[in-house]
Structure 1
Amino acid sequence: MRVGRLVVAAVALVVVPATARAEPTVFEGNNIPMVEWMENLAFDGLGGMWVSRISEARIVRYDVSGRETASVTVPGIGYASPSGIVRAPDGRLYVAVPWTPVHEAEIIRFDPRDANPVAEVFATGLGLLMANGLGVDDAGNLYVTDQAQSGITRIRADGTVDTAWTQASKGLFGPNGIEVHGDAIYIGVTLDMANPIYRVPIDRPQDFELYARLGYAPPFRALDDLTVAPDGALYIGAVTSPMSGNVFRIDPITRDATTVFSGGPVTSVRFAVEFGTATGDLFATTMSGDIVRIPV
């Protein structure tokens, strides 16, 4: 196995303020915590927000009023829970599905422009276990993280794995949250008590570098999915318990972190695109079953 070369940037240990800066509202809620777990979300650019509901094996569409308007079931035999979801340049939505004893890890996709969208298997046989975060670049290449293994799996737009690129990223263990931005990929690591975030150059994945470190936060803080704002700031969700969590903003210049939300355990964050009056606002999914709107 090729081991990547970690480039350590001059990143200081971040002290995170404990107070929130924004007044959030519950966009969709009244669900049963843990049972109606919301794992990830993406906007289709057509006025819809699609959310992967991990405990129901389906991806649900909401309009700007919070009303459920469509639903797509994960295909296949047996229980399969959808995780990361992303809109690709072809307009379709791609979803990562983790391995289970009766379901191989795979990537599925569907077209939100269809009147009754149906998911199909796009890529399988990937050797993934905890397929979770999912990112996409401008060329349509997908990037899948796996919390249980090292590296990032790059899948070309035709569904084949870019083996050389994937192998070059193997020095990075246990990545989870992911966002492709410009010429780099940003990665959050869940199973690391120092709570690091890495920057991975797309053309040199072996040369990943430490971008920021949120530091130790007893008794527990698990970083989850992340996104990049138009101003270059990075926003990342975190779980501190089955009932609590935060959203942090990482300044693109100082790399310092501030807390912009404290509430339920946050699993993903995304900025609304073509979503009526909520366009530009930050939305977060939670393990407690709420979708939260955060006007940052």
Structure 2
Amino acid sequence: MGSIVAALAVGVPGAATAAGPPPAAAALERCAAPAQVKVFREGGVPLLDWRENLEFDGRGTLWVAHIAKHRVEGYAPDGTLRTSFPVNGPGGLRRGPDGMMYVNFGVNPLSSWASGGGVMRFDPAAAHPRPEKVVEGVSGVNGLAIDAEGNFYLSRELATGIVKIRPDGTKDAEWTRKANVFGANGLEIVGDQLYASVITDASSPVVRIPLKNPEQHTRVTELSPNPLKLKLLDDLTFFNGKLVVASFRDGELIEVDPATGKSCVLVSGLRMPSSVRVARGFGDSDPRRDLFVVEASGRIVKVTAG
């Protein structure tokens, strides 16, 4: 997440999406299936121990972007900190199609206009990972997604257009111009669609952007029935056919059906959740049931769906 202060101040729709109206907002009910929350790692002082993003490498390590301490951490399934290394302002974390790990740098939770941002790559199998820059010169970066061809997609919370970077490091300016979503935060690719949560819009929308036709982006749903109570949507993931979106402000994980927009609250009572990912190749965690969440409180929690 980038500028929380700015998001609270703006709180109004931006240049959001093309094509037809989204489903009408309604008060969200609890999902029918219960979910259990277990603390994987306790946090410290809220905000000062801010863990911003996470991703599994599929080889038994959970990688976490600790934005407050400017480092990336690698955890074992028993909660042991295996390794860590410095990254200035780490944000979105994703596993690439090449098996390498990628992390945004230059992310600032108090300013979405931080300069000098981009993407770093590191080898998750290395005993002492050494990150190297693969994308530079993108200001205000936050979320990250990588498609099967190795293209990077970077969200910017106070700018219009999701930035697309080709595998060779060049910018696809035309794609970005067509994906003119303002205030995107979390990004997730499902098949040939890119889904984005929008943080600076009072209706708290989730947007679908076709990778091949970004100008045809549409809203899947709007999650704030009251425009004065925007949810500050952060990262999202795809889980058992549904999207699961973190609401930073309300401490919720919200389940969204990408086909219908129907939504419900999967988990509440979290402490400023900023990212959620499906557990893959991580000890006895089951990707059909288990999600992990990081929070600005510093906690890492495990959510097991019923």
Scaled by the length of structure 1, what TM-score is found?
Answer: 0.89
1:147–1:176 contact (8 Å) kept in structure 2 = yes
Give the 3-state SS of the residue equivalent to 2:127 in structure 1.
coil
Equivalent residue in structure 2 for 1:140, among 150, 168, 171: 150
Q: Is the 8 A contact 2:294 2:301 kept in 1?
A: yes
Task: Tell me the amino acid that sits aligned with residue 12 of structure 1.
Answer: A
Q: 1:63 is matched by which residue type in structure 2?
A: A
Alignment match of 2:276 (pick from 261, 269, 278): 269
SS in 1 for 2:36: coil
Paired residue type of 2:256: I
Output the CA distance in 2 between the equivalents of 1:219 and 1:105.
30
Residue aligning to 2:103: 95
Structure 1 residue runs of 5 or longer lacking an equivalent are: 75-79
Percent identity of equivalent pairs: 34
Q: CA deviation at 1:255?
A: 1.9
- Distance in 2, matches of 1:102 and 1:259, equals 33
List structure 1 runs of 4+ shifted beyond 6 angstroms.
none
Q: Is the Cα–Cα contact under 8 Å of residues 225 and 269 in structure 1 kept in the other structure?
A: yes
Q: AA paired with 1:259?
A: V
1:103 is displaced (CA, Å) by 5.7
Asked if 1 retains the 8 angstrom alpha-carbon contact of 2:145 and 2:188, the reply is: yes
Q: How does 1:250-261 map to 2 (within 5 A)?
A: 250-261=256-267
Work out whether residues 150 and 167 of structure 2, in 8 Å CA contact, stay in contact via their aligned partners in 1.
yes
Give the superposition deviation at 1:250.
0.8
Task: Give the corresponding residue for 1:238.
Answer: 247
Give runs of aligned pairs for residues 1-296 of structure 1, distance below 5 A: 6-17=18-29, 21-74=34-87, 80-98=88-106, 104-126=116-138, 128-129=139-140, 131-169=141-179, 171-217=180-226, 218-229=228-239, 231-240=240-249, 245-262=251-268, 263-280=270-287, 281-296=290-305
| Paired residue total | 282
Give the counterpart letter for 1:275 in structure 2.
F
Cα deviation digits, residues 195-229 of structure 1 (max 9, x gap): 00000000111110011111235545210000111
**Matching residue's letter, 2:196:** I
Change (3 A) 1:18 1:67: same
Whole-Å separation in 2 of the counterparts to 1:194 and 1:219? 8
C-alpha distance in 2 between matches for 1:140 and 1:283: 25
| Secondary structure in structure 1 of the residue aligned to 2:116 | coil
The structure-2 alpha-carbon separation of the partners of 1:57 and 1:88, relative to structure 1 and needing over 3 Å to count, comes to same
Deviations 1:55-93 (A, max 9, x none): 01111000111110011211xxxxx31111100011111
CA distance in 2, matches of 1:13, 1:105: 35
What is the CA–CA distance in structure 1 between the aligned matches of 2:300 and 2:172, rounded to whole Å? Answer: 35
Q: Which moved more, 1:157-166 or 1:94-103?
A: 94-103
Q: Distance in 2 between matches of 1:94 and 1:177?
A: 15
Q: CA RMSD in A?
A: 2.0
Give the deviation of 1:10 after TM superposition: 5.0
Deviation at 1:157, TM superposition (A): 1.4
1:246–1:261 Cα contact (<8 Å) kept: yes
Shift of 1:135: 0.3
Instruction: Tell me if structure 2 keeps the 8 A contact 1:155–1:162.
Output: yes
TM-score (norm 2): 0.87
Write the distance in 2 (CA, Å) between the matches of 1:172 and 1:99. 19
Gap change, CA 1:272 and 1:86, over 3 Å in 2: same
Structure 1 CA distance, aligned partners of 2:43 and 2:163? 36
CA, structure 1 residues 234+14, in 2 after alignment: closer, same or farther (shift >3 Å)? Answer: farther
Give the deviation of 1:17 after TM superposition. Answer: 1.7
User: 3-state SS of the aligned residue for 1:64?
Assistant: coil
Which stretch shifts more, 264-273 or 252-261? Answer: 252-261
Which whole-Å CA distance do the structure 1 matches of 2:284 and 2:255 have between them? 23
